[in-house]
Amino acid sequence: MHNLLIFTLQTTFYVYGIFSLLLSFWCLIYSENNYSIFFISTIICFIIGYFISFLLSDKIALLKNFLKALFLCWLLLILVASIPFYSLINVVDFNTIIFFSTSLSTTTGFNVSFFNYFQDFEPLLIWSSIVQVMGGFFSIISFILIFLVIFNNKNKYVIFNKKLIIKFILYYFMLFIIYILLINYNINDLKDSLVITAAIISTGGVIGNEGNVLGHYFSKNNFLIIYSMLIVFTTIIVPSFLIVQNRDIFYSYYLKVLKRCFFLLIVSAIMLLIILNMEFLSFEENLFIFLSFITTTGILPNKVNDVSILQQLYPFFFIFLLLTVIGGFSASSSGGLKIDRISILIIKIKEELSKLTLRHKVYGVDLIKKGSDQNELNSFYALLSFGICIIISSVLMLATFGYSLFEAFAISVAALSNTGDGFLYLNNIKLYDTSYSFFILNLLMICGRFELVGYLLIIQKFIFKN
């Protein structure tokens, strides 16, 4: 187990280094400036990959040590992401670079007009896409690894080894290439296809100089349908992989989760119908916005640049808030609480109503039937309470920096759910360029992406049954 965990973390940084090396060669071939800074990133990635076994404890297979190791890896990913941006240190300060690197690595998508500096240095735009892809990839890998640590020795269905990890890595980046080719086939622009693909597959939302809003040409209805299809498939990358490689996990876990989430899926469908009825946008635009927010991708069609359209979206604030908080499914790169986690609370509510109605003790019956238990529910309470405390604290602190309470709340939700600028844009909110607010948002973004704390709280009973 120890060797497998180390191997997976090492491979992540080696892959990061390969992308950086390819970008360095591309700069060299096309005579771009500062190609050496990407080569430096490559060297640092390989150094981290090589020495990571020495940095981590021999007892990494223990859950506590494993969580510390993954948290360290997140910090190292942010460090690597920031290196090429130091080429702009004359025009951008250190705090902004760290903030933007954290935003990309956690696939949140804040940009603070950072892309205005990329106009004369296109490789940085490509690097931003690479950082998003690696952030989304590591989010999913983290989920797989936590399953390894918790379930591997307890259930015969969970069989992850080096071969399977390598297969998943190849599968993920094969999908990345397929996404690029599919989008490029339609829009006929390879660079923008790469940028849009990176924003979709990572649920990062940053798409270049336009920030989180698609350009006019890229917002055609037929293009939006393609983006929507890719967003949907992105949420099921792990299930689609497992149904081929390990069907036991798929049938014993994911199908049970779908049954448990039936009520929330109905609620989501109702919100979808509400959004589809927005007559000032086309059906394709409404569908795209819904999928973009429920997966916390945060990309918006170009039509929202119209102030009159944007103003008509303000009354739907609570719909977008609910979508953002709910998020997608676990084992995806989307943020939010996740549908399968919230479903635990729904089961408990149903149980309490049954107790009131039937007047006898049915404690835990529905939870057990649905593949969960009281410990999971208590864990969800802990996670929810922790999130509420963080939001309240961040709202109060951000309010001292000049934000209104509403703005501070929206910014906190956008950071903690890893939705980013998309949620702020719909509420006409802009970030202030202050070091203190950036520090708070950095913590919120890392807390939102470092979901292993949530997994530790939530997964306390082995769900699989022989």
- Average pLDDT by consecutive 10-residue portion of the chain (466 residues)? 82 94 89 82 94 71 71 91 88 87 89 64 87 92 75 52 87 95 92 91 79 87 94 88 74 68 81 91 93 89 89 89 79 71 65 56 46 52 67 87 88 86 86 81 82 48 39
Angle made by CA atoms 24, 25, 26, in degrees to the nearest 5: 90
pLDDT reported for residue 65: 72
pLDDT value at residue 462: 38
Which residues in 205-227 are b (16+ Cβ under 10 Å) and which e?
A: bbbbebbbbbbeebbbeebbebb
Q: What is the pLDDT of residue 251?
A: 67
CA distances from 173 to 103, 170, 428 (A): 21, 5, 35
At 122 the pLDDT is 81
First to last CA, the chain: 22
Q: Show Cβ contacts of residue 261 under 8 Å, excluding neighbours closer than 6 positions.
A: 339, 340, 343
Strand partners, 300: 213
Alpha-carbon separation of residue 106 from 65, 100, 446 (angstroms)? 21, 10, 7
Helix axes 190-201, 162-187, angle to 10 degrees: 130
In the prediction, which pLDDT does 194 show? 92
Q: Which residues pair with 213 in a beta bridge?
A: 300
Q: Are 320 and 423 in contact (CB under 8 A)?
A: yes
Q: Residue 462: phi, psi to the nearest 5?
A: -75, 115
What is the reported pLDDT for 350? 64
- The DSSP output letter for 108 is -
Buried b / exposed e over 323-361, threshold 16 CB at 10 Å, is bbbbbbbbbbbbbbbbbbbbbbebbbeebeeeeeeeeee
Amino acid, res. 151: F
Cα–Cα distance for residue pair 182/170, rounded to 1 Å: 18
Full-model pTM: 0.85
